[in-house]
Structure 1
Amino acid sequence: MGEGVAKGATETRRVTRLIRLPEVQHRVGLGRSTIYRWMAEGKFPKPVQLGGYAVAWSEAEVEAWIAGKLK
């Protein structure tokens, strides 16, 4: 029940959370068209394919992109 770390483990296990477009838009303050245009230009992280037309972004990659913009 829950995620635990094995005894003696020296590294914390990080679970990558995937976030969908509405949450990405909310976090970065950009519209859908801008996100997809910047992806095509290599200015924004690309999503992972979930199946069919469903895609999601790595929360860590989006957070890193935001942090890079704040510098």
Structure 2
Amino acid sequence: MPMHSQTTSSNAPTGTARGAARRAKLPEGFDPLMRFTAVCAATALSRTTIYKLVREGKFPMPLHLGQRGQGFEMAWPESEIRAWIDSRKAERDERARKLLEEAAATDALGV
């Protein structure tokens, strides 16, 4: 007989079942929340940078979900993070457009 036998309840969801439940189809129009780790991954920013940008008014304010230890559990609506990323892309595209216009103007002048 094995030294460590493990009993499981047939009614208890497995890790895979729990994950599937979390990924269940959300109601139409529902804006899911993103936790800090997911926001860091989606934006490629560190926690420190996100805190700094929030303080400067350059990043969406988080929702406080409740107290956890010494701080607060925070999350962001996914739509706000997507909008922030889209605005960064738009800024990049505008800078690129201006650079191309300047380069074309310089070429037209023969400089």
TM superposition score category, shorter chain reference: 0.7 to 0.9
Cα displacement string for residues 27-50 of structure 1 (whole angstroms, at most 9, x for unaligned residues): 000000000000000000010011
Please state which structure has a larger fraction of its residues in helix. Answer: 2
TM-score, length basis structure 2: 0.52
Between the two structures, name the one with larger relative contact order (CA 8 Å, sep ≥ 6): 1
C-alpha separation between the residues in 2 aligned to 1:3 and 1:50?
Answer: 20
**Residue segments in structure 2 that go unaligned for 5+ positions in a row:** 1-24, 91-111
Q: Specify which of 46, 71, 85 is matched with residue 66 of structure 1.
A: 85
**Residue segments in structure 1 that go unaligned for 5+ positions in a row:** 5-12
Matching residue's letter, 2:41: H
Q: Cα gap change, 1:14/1:37 in structure 2, threshold over 3 Å: closer, same or farther? A: same
CA-CA distance at 1:3 after TM superposition: 6.5
Aligned length: 62
Q: Cα gap change, 1:55/1:69 in structure 2, threshold over 3 Å: closer, same or farther? A: same
- Pairwise mapping of residues 14-53 of structure 1 onto structure 2 (< 5 A)? 14-52=29-67, 53=72
Q: State the Cα RMSD in Å.
A: 1.5
Residue identity over aligned pairs, in percent, reads: 37
Larger Rg: 2
TM-score, length basis structure 1: 0.81
